[in-house]
A and B are shown apart, each in its own frame.
Chain A
Amino acid sequence: MEKRKMTLVQRMQQLDRRYIYIVIAVAIIIPLLIPFNTKTYVTEPTANIYKKIDSFAGREDKAILMSFNHDASTMPELFPMEVSILRHCFERDVKVFTLCFMPQAAPLVDYAINTAKEGYDVTSGVDYLNFGYRPFALQLPIILGMGEDISNALETDSEGRKIENMEIMENIRNYDDMNLVIDFSGSASIQTWIIYARAKFGANIAAGITAVMVADNYPYLQTGQLVGMLRGLKGAAEYEKLVDIFAAYEDEDYPNGRPYSQEILKEINVPITADKIIYEVTNEDGSVDKISTNAEMKYEYKKARIGMNAQSVAHVMIIVFIIVGNIGYFLTRKNKKLG
Chain B
Amino acid sequence: MTLSNFVAAFLTLCIFSFLYKENPFYRFGEHLLVGVSMGYAIPLIYDTVFIPYVYRPIFLDHNYIIIIPAVLGFLYVFRYSKNLSWLARYPIVFGMGIVGMSVPMSMHSQVLVQMKTAMLPLDNINTILIFIGTVTILLYFFFSKAHKGAYGKVTNIGVWFMMIGFGASFGYTVMARISLLIGRIQFLLGDFLGLIK
Residues of A within 8 A of B (CB): 18, 21, 24-25, 28-29, 32-33, 73-77, 103-104, 106, 133-135, 137-138, 140, 191, 194-196, 198-200, 210-212, 214-216, 219-220, 222-225, 231-234, 299, 303, 306-307, 310-311, 314-315, 318
Contacts and interface: CB of A to CB of B under 8 A. Distances in A.
Contacts of B184: 76
Interface string B165-189: 1001100111110111111111001
Contacts of B175: 211, 232-234, 311, 315
Given A33-B196, A195-B109, A225-B109, A233 B179 contact: yes
Given A106-B44, A133-B44, A299-B190, A307 B182 contact: yes
A222 to B, nearest CB: 6
User: Which 9 pairs across A and B sit closest by C-beta, in order of nearness?
Assistant: A76-B183, A211-B176, A215-B169, A211-B175, A233-B179, A223-B117, A212-B176, A211-B172, A103-B41
A187 B110 CA distance: 17
B176 A195 contact: no
A334 B165 CA distance: 30
A215 B178 contact: no
Contacts of B169: 215-216
25 contacts: A33-B195, A76-B183, A76-B184, A103-B40, A104-B40, A106-B44, A140-B98, A196-B102, A211-B175, A211-B179, A212-B176, A222-B117, A223-B117, A225-B109, A225-B113, A232-B175, A232-B176, A299-B197, A307-B182, A307-B183, A310-B182, A310-B185, A311-B178, A314-B178, A314-B182
Contact size range, B: 35 or more
Contacts of B108: 195, 199
B32 interface: no
Contact of A211 (B105, B173, B189): B173
Contacts of B189: 29, 32-33
B42 to A, nearest CB: 9
A200 B44 CA distance: 31
Interface of B: 19-20, 37, 40-41, 44-45, 48-49, 53, 98, 102, 105-106, 108-110, 113-114, 116-117, 165, 168-169, 172-176, 178-186, 189-190, 195-197
Contacts of B98: 140
A253 to B, nearest CB: 33
A32 B186 contact: yes
A252 B1 CA distance: 42
Contacts of B196: 32-33, 299, 306
B117 A224 contact: yes
A194 B109 contact: yes
Contact of B168 (A33, A104, A215): A215
Nearest to A21: B19
A219 B20 CA distance: 40
A212 B108 CA distance: 25
Contacts of B190: 32, 299
Contacts of A21: 19
Contact of A77 (B113, B176, B185): B176
Contacts of B19: 18, 21
Contacts of A224: 113, 117
Point out which of A28, A76, A104 has the most chain B C-beta atoms below 10 A from its C-beta: A76
B179 A104 contact: no
A77 B197 contact: no
Nearest to B166: A215
